Amino acid sequence: MKQILTLLIVFFVLFSCKNENNTSENSDKLTQKEQKTDPSFGIVIHGGAGTILKKNMSDSLEKAYKAKLKKAITVGHTILKNGGTAMEAVTKTINVMENSPLFNAGKGAVFTHEETNELDASVMDGATLNAGAVAGVTHIKNPIDLALSVMNNSPHVLLSGKGAERFAEEQGIKLVDPSYFYTEKRFQSLQRIKDREKAELDHDSKVSFTDPFIKDSKFGTVGCAALDKNGNLAAGTSTGGMTNKRWNRIGDAPIIGAGTYANNATCAVSSTGWGEYFIRAMVAHDISAMMEYKGVTLQEAAEEVIQKKVPELGGDGGIIAIDKDGNVSMEFNTAGMYRAHMNANGDLKIGIYGE
């Protein structure tokens, strides 16, 4: 009898343990499933802002811009959809635009007064607040890749000129001959601006930076902001700067907090516009700070900065941004801004003009 009772007790204990283990395993599986259910992710890009008017755009060129914007954002969205990081999505998306002559970054970089190309770029990781940037590089095919390497493989945030290119060589990043960046369209734009300036000076009048033709020479940048399935944000910006710039001028694109900012607590932002004003207003960080300290939404913060603060200083331009919940802002105070957005469902929105 005692033996039977003992066997029953042992059986009961084993059965209870097995059920407890199964319950624990099922709970773990459920938790994992819940974590993967309804992932919120998204991506948003820009290709520069300025006096972009429908009447000045041919149908074929408009189609070309829209096709390239779609190609770029689809690359990043696919990465996010497959579980990739926000930073990978940002850099690979920007690569597509850097490799296109349509945008003022990489291949399509504008010319300086000395008829050279000087490129800037930056990235920021919202999870760690780590960042990397380069300025005034002349041999780097994809400056955004070098900015990423500065963030990941150096103790610094911002490297410039020849030093940045020596670092690139040490990192195995391919350098290109400066002739790679030559495009006839950008070169002729420089000549027209020089001619306009010369005409102004010949009439003993000061060059007017409010002249729409000269003013728009300051615009043209590409950028991306993304939220991945793990809830991490990242942003990146790449540019050739302003046409006819002198004295190794550096704009807002490589300045963390001005041209680029990302913080998992708030949002990720990339700017495009008149860099001097975006630096003075610290545009990208200001949007994040307003969300963090005032508790306003991303859109409310973006409108306040782009529609009020920057114009009051005398500058213009725009931003693209995504917050920690996947909400997006594409705010600009110019006639147009090349832009696109894709959400977790794959819905695509592309815009050029101020509609």
How, if at all, do strands 221-227 and 233-239 pair? Answer: antiparallel
State how far the Cα of 65 lies from the Cα of 339, in Å rounded to an integer: 10
State how far the Cα of 209 lies from the Cα of 292, in Å rounded to an integer: 35
Task: Based on the fold, state whether residues 143 and 71 are members of the same structural domain.
Answer: yes
Task: Based on the fold, state whether residues 31 and 46 are members of the same structural domain.
Answer: no
Q: Is pLDDT of 103 > 50?
A: yes
Q: Is pLDDT of 148 > 60?
A: yes
Whether 221 is catalytic = yes
pTM of the model: 0.86
**CATH number for the domain that contains residue 168:** 3.60.20.30
Task: Based on the fold, state whether residues 209 and 146 are members of the same structural domain.
Answer: yes
Task: Based on the fold, state whether residues 262 and 349 are members of the same structural domain.
Answer: yes
Residues near 145 by Cβ (< 8 Å), separated by ≥ 6? 91, 95, 173
Q: Is pLDDT of 209 > 60?
A: no
Phi, psi of 3 (to 5 degrees): -65, -40
Task: Based on the fold, state whether residues 17 and 79 are members of the same structural domain.
Answer: no
Beta carbons within 10 angstroms of residue 135's beta carbon: 25
Task: Based on the fold, state whether residues 86 and 210 are members of the same structural domain.
Answer: yes
Task: Based on the fold, state whether residues 67 and 2 are members of the same structural domain.
Answer: no
Q: Is pLDDT of 159 > 90?
A: yes
Annotated catalytic residue, options 74, 112, 221, 243:
221
Rounded mean pLDDT of the chain? 87
The pLDDT tens digits of the residues spanning 283-331 come to: 999 999 999 999 999 999 999 999 999 999 999 999 999 999 999 999 9
**What pLDDT was estimated at residue 100?**
97
Q: Which domain holds residue 194?
A: 42-353
Distances (CA, A) of 138 to 112, 313, 348: 11, 31, 34
How far is it between the farthest Cα atoms of the chain? 119
How, if at all, do strands 348-353 and 336-343 pair? Answer: antiparallel
Beta carbons within 10 angstroms of residue 273's beta carbon: 30
Q: Is pLDDT of 20 > 60?
A: no
Least confident of 5-9, 38-42, 176-180, 320-324: 5-9
**What pLDDT was estimated at residue 14?**
44
Task: Based on the fold, state whether residues 145 and 1 are members of the same structural domain.
Answer: no
* Residue 266: both structure tokens together: 């708030």
Task: Based on the fold, state whether residues 56 and 11 are members of the same structural domain.
Answer: no
The pLDDT tens digits of the residues spanning 62-77 come to: 999 999 999 999 999 9
Task: Based on the fold, state whether residues 90 and 139 are members of the same structural domain.
Answer: yes
Least confident of 116-130, 211-225, 248-262, 331-345: 211-225
Task: Based on the fold, state whether residues 1 and 111 are members of the same structural domain.
Answer: no
Number of domains in the chain: 2
**What pLDDT was estimated at residue 206?**
53
Of residues 190 and 212, the one with the higher pLDDT is 190
Task: Based on the fold, state whether residues 52 and 28 are members of the same structural domain.
Answer: no
| Percentage of residues of the chain with pLDDT beyond 90 | 78
**What pLDDT was estimated at residue 31?**
31
